[in-house]
Amino acid sequence: MRAAPFDYSVYDDGLLAAAVLAVDPAAIGGVVLRASAGPRRDRWLADLRQFVAAGTPVLRLPLHVGDGRLFGGLDLPASLRLGKPVVERGILAHASGGILLLAMAERLSPALAARLCAVLDFGEVALERDGFAMRMPTRFGVVALDEGASEEEYPPAALLDRLAIHLDLAGFEPSSRTDRHDLSAHVSVARTLLPAVVASDSLTEAFCGAAMAFGIASLRPTLLGLRVAKIAAALAGRTEVAETDAALAGRLVLAPRATMVPTDAEADSQEAQPEQSAAQQGLDRPHTENAVDVPDAPLDDRIIAAIAAAIPAGLLGLLSSPDPAVSKAQTSGRAGALHKSRLRGRPAGVRRGEPQGGARLNVVETLRAAAPYQSLRRREAAVSGRHGATFVQVRREDFHVTRFKQRGETTTIFVVDASGSSALNRLAEAKGAVELLLADCYIRRDSVALIAFRNRSAELLLPPTRSLVRAKRGLAGLPGGGGTPLASAIEAAVALAESVRRKGNTPTIVLLTDGRANIARDGEPGRPRAEADALLAARQARAAQLRILFIDTSPRPQELAHRLAGAMGATYLALPFADAAGVSAVVRQIASRSP
Amino acid sequence: MSVAFPFSAIVGQDDMKTAVLIAAIDPTIGGVLAFGDRGTGKSTAIRALAALLPKIAVVVGCRYGCDPAATGDRLCLECRARQAKGPLKSRLVPIPVVDLPLGATEDRVVGALDLERALARGEKAFEPGLLARANRGFLYIDEVNLLEDHLVDLLIDVAASGENVVEREGLSIRHPARFVLVGSGNPEEGELRPQLLDRFGLSVEVKTPVDLRTRIEVVRRRDAFERNPADFVAKWKKEDDRLRRHIVAARALLPMVEIPDAAQEHGAQLCLALGTDGLRGDLTLTRAARAMASLEGDKQVSDRHLRRVAPSALRHRLRRNPLDESGSSVRIERALTEIFGP
């Protein structure tokens, strides 16, 4: 039975995203839901729960999940009861057919993301743990709850690439249509209709062209977008993808990933801008008009226009500007593992020992150690008249504990004065030092960050990274010149250092400046206030007890620079001709000292 | 995933496909590292390889897949005992392509005491791990740069010695573990340790296709595959079969391929000009050039073959100069032009 044609465009994109995901969660990978925790996010999740089929598992995956719970492993009570190893399925296998909610996805480690991605890609859990080797098929969709507050805070890029829909709930007014009943009914119809839905060659080509026009390099979003388009068609009761379906997929999948805007589409949407901002960044405007905007244009141009209309006006300007500011889609993701204590972090092997002082017992290895002696111990117990009720007799000497990586990483934060005339030279040398240190990093597993300050503010140019590739891209084309907002720079460095520390890593700040502050904290010029502010910030830095290296780059050592270094408890070094090799050598020396 | 995407249906990515084929022709080259952009089919290509490989003969009943034609320390202890009693019985099996997932524990990688038999029957028996399963085949690690350090240490050692030595829980076992290491990853997630990098014979840079026609073709084939995997594989079977015969023929030709002095010299010059560390670069380069020649059905290695394989054989062996903005590939290209002319 064919459902009556259904016009889904009366609903807002947020609600449609939930409906699309509910039709076939695994097919589209999932949704990145960028929103702070609150009623709006809860409402979206509640909608999603209403749309999914009854009995669909919706599981929450905590950030700190260990591999054992993630993949599965030995089921201890059952194994002890039965006297043979019994496998326990992990969360990923349990989520099969349903949805996995990733809390605080912006803090997800690349290691956990890579594990998730492997399972998403191949639809099965490859369990090679605790003596088990098995494959467990599992297909699920992920909802990454991204609470990232700043441009730098994003879930790992590998995961972002695999989740079709990127939805930002900020500045997004839910549609006036509150009746979800209709949509809910069509979700279940769509589920049965979906296998029959096809996309014509011309539409596929147009969609590929659109993805390329928006500078989306990875091919995965294109593939995922086509699946979203098919689901949209199924929602509408169609068996062939129509232009409106492709436009919806473009808005949900391609628009948020755009790294550039095709020139003519830009002109189109600039005209449409006033109307858009009035409609709260255009997410709840009636969508029917998107696709029919330019009826005579070729199909791909119409899709491109529809997508461009979905990109918020501010971002559009940013993307089309010639400045190769690295797009957020490419730099997202956080490098660096979490090594908090002996209880946390990634396991680094197992050793014999007792579970004391917080060390965690490794049950499988303990059992393995105990196993060979079981018959002996049973006999022994029988002789001594102690008939133990336990099937397996484990003794103290069998205990094995899991070792975790304990040494935290070092993160070197370069804070570079990019003001004034000598800026270019200093920046080039700082850049060189960053790269030299990074080249050394893969041995020590350390990371590097870079803050540059000029004009009125300090800017984080390179979030902590271990990747030379990313660093090179982040450092390309550093601007120089302008005033010296030293106070803001110190504050930014301390804030970053503290966030590094919260992750269990050890920060070292390297400040390259001549110390001649002339911009106050509030961005106003004026030397006396700027210097007072800088001194205040320096004292705050000292209170934070950070390891700081102050490199004075002025031709003649400055008295103020010296005072600043003293105030922040920094190691002061006059290096008028600071060159890359020199700086990196000094930093390496300082960083290797224990804090 | 039950059905793998057919190798011959992969659009473009010639560098990666050639490297994988070369590694399949001559396992002594030491595997392939595919590093590059997301969503380019790195792991698809490697997983597709399994279906392409010819079968090999293994000793019946051997848990490590020993070669019936081998002798001495190329055999595991059990097979040596079998051999002492009479000729080894053999059977044909597909070449193993073993996945090493990121969450694997050490006991599953190296092998460990068989818990079931130990608990139930009090027997001390060794349960072979992934390294045993990968013997004489391929060991594939996706996101290899995110592999935990203690597993990396282990791999580095075994990959070099070709033998897995297990000393745990009162077990003392050694068995052959010669495998072709295949890795993939995205350099943005972090660098690879130089020692591990060195274990890979070839390294390819995988880039997203920027040509619209290619991209459309990728999307179309993927769509067709997802709609009906069985049909799609059947459609490409002929192509895959042809490629398999090609590999078998190239393997047979390989021992006959000669390396003229001139080619040898050019290879050495190239390594010298690039300042590659150690002799491994030189050795890999000539081996890869030979495999390349046999892949193309040539009985002599020529400059063309050297040129074709030089980037992937040497790219990851250059001493790094972080201040040199040009990447390794550019440096190799420059050296190639200097030695072979434009």
Active-site residue identified among B174, B193, B280, B304: B280
> To the nearest whole angstrom, how far is the Cα of A127 from the nearest Cα of chain B?
7
Q: Which range of residues forms the domain containing residue A397?
A: 347-404
Task: Extract the tokens encoding A344.
Answer: 């946390």
Residues A498 and A536 both lie in one domain: yes
ipTM over 0.85: no
| A254-292 pLDDT per residue, tens | 988 888 777 654 444 444 433 333 333 334 333 433 434
Q: Note the pLDDT of residue A501.
A: 79
Residue in chain B closest to A400 (alpha carbons) equals B169
Q: Note the pLDDT of residue A263.
A: 63
Residues A328 and A432 both lie in one domain: no
Q: Which domains does chain B have, with CATH numbers?
A: 7-54+95-206 (3.40.50.300), 255-340 (1.10.8.80)
| B145-195 pLDDT per residue, tens | 888 878 888 888 898 888 898 887 778 888 989 999 999 988 777 778 778
Residues A318 and A369 both lie in one domain: no
Contacts of A179 (CB under 8 A, 6+ apart): none
Residues A482 and A420: their CA atoms lie apart, in Å, by 5
Name chain B contacts of A124, Cβ cutoff 8 Å. 1
- A184 falls within a domain: no
Domain boundary among A273, A301, A333: A333
């350090």: which residue's tokens? B149
Q: Note the pLDDT of residue A223.
A: 93
Residues A377 and A475 both lie in one domain: no
Name chain A contacts of B107, Cβ cutoff 8 Å. 130-131, 364-365, 368
Residues A423 and A557 both lie in one domain: yes
Total tally of structural domains belonging to chain A: 3
Residue in chain A closest to B209 (alpha carbons) equals A217
- A23 falls within a domain: no
In this prediction, the residues of chain A whose per-residue pLDDT falls under 70 are 1-5, 151-152, 171-178, 263-297, 311-349, 354-360, 385-391, 403-408, 421-427, 437-445, 468, 474-480, 504, 575-578, 588-595
Is-catalytic flag, B280?
A: yes
> To the nearest whole angstrom, how far is the Cα of B16 from the nearest Cα of chain A?
17
Residues A432 and A582: their CA atoms lie apart, in Å, by 10
Q: Note the pLDDT of residue A379.
A: 76
E strands, A152-195, are 165-168
- A441 falls within a domain: yes
Residues A289 and A279: their CA atoms lie apart, in Å, by 14
| B267-281 pLDDT per residue, tens | 888 888 887 766 888
Q: Note the pLDDT of residue A297.
A: 64
Contact with chain B for residue A371, Cβ under 8 A: yes
| CATH number for A505 | 3.40.50.410
Contacts of B224 (CB under 8 A, 6+ apart): B232
Domain boundary among A367, A387, A404: A404
- A470 falls within a domain: yes
Of A131, A369, A432, nearest to B127 by CB-CB distance is A131
Contact with chain B for residue A347, Cβ under 8 A: yes
CA distances from residue A425 to A362, A479, A580 in whole angstroms, order as listed: 54, 11, 11
Name chain A contacts of B97, Cβ cutoff 8 Å. none
Residues A502 and A583 both lie in one domain: yes
Contact with chain B for residue A298, Cβ under 8 A: no
Q: Is the pLDDT of residue B107 over 90?
A: no
CA distances from residue B98 to A334, A548, B58, B133, B233 in whole angstroms, order as listed: 30, 48, 16, 7, 21
Q: Give the burial class of B297: count Cβ atoms within 10 A of its Cβ; 0-12 exposed, 13-18 middle, 19 or more buried.
A: exposed
Domain boundary among A276, A310, A333: A333
Residues A207 and A307 both lie in one domain: yes
- A149 falls within a domain: no
pLDDT (mean) for B16-35: 90
Residues A246 and A320 both lie in one domain: yes
Residues A236 and A329 both lie in one domain: yes
> Mean of the per-residue pLDDT values for chain B?
86
Residues B99 and A133: their CA atoms lie apart, in Å, by 11
> pLDDT higher for B326 or A395?
A395
Residues A423 and A566 both lie in one domain: yes
Residues A346 and B62: their CA atoms lie apart, in Å, by 35
Of B101, B218, B222, nearest to A118 by CB-CB distance is B101
Q: Note the pLDDT of residue B253.
A: 94
Name chain A contacts of B146, Cβ cutoff 8 Å. 110-111, 114
Per-position DSSP letters for B288-303, written without gaps between them:
HHHHHHHHTT-SB--H
Tally the residues of chain A. 595
> To the nearest whole angstrom, how far is the Cα of A460 from the nearest Cα of chain B?
18
- A427 falls within a domain: yes
> pLDDT higher for B335 or A197?
A197
- A352 falls within a domain: yes
- A173 falls within a domain: no
Residue closest to A549 by CA, chosen among A535, A565, A560, A533: A565
Residues A361 and A302 both lie in one domain: no
Q: Do A367 and B115 touch (CB under 8 A)?
A: yes
| B225-241 pLDDT per residue, tens | 988 999 999 999 999 99
Residues A433 and A311: their CA atoms lie apart, in Å, by 38
> pLDDT higher for B103 or B259?
B259
Residues A370 and A424 both lie in one domain: no
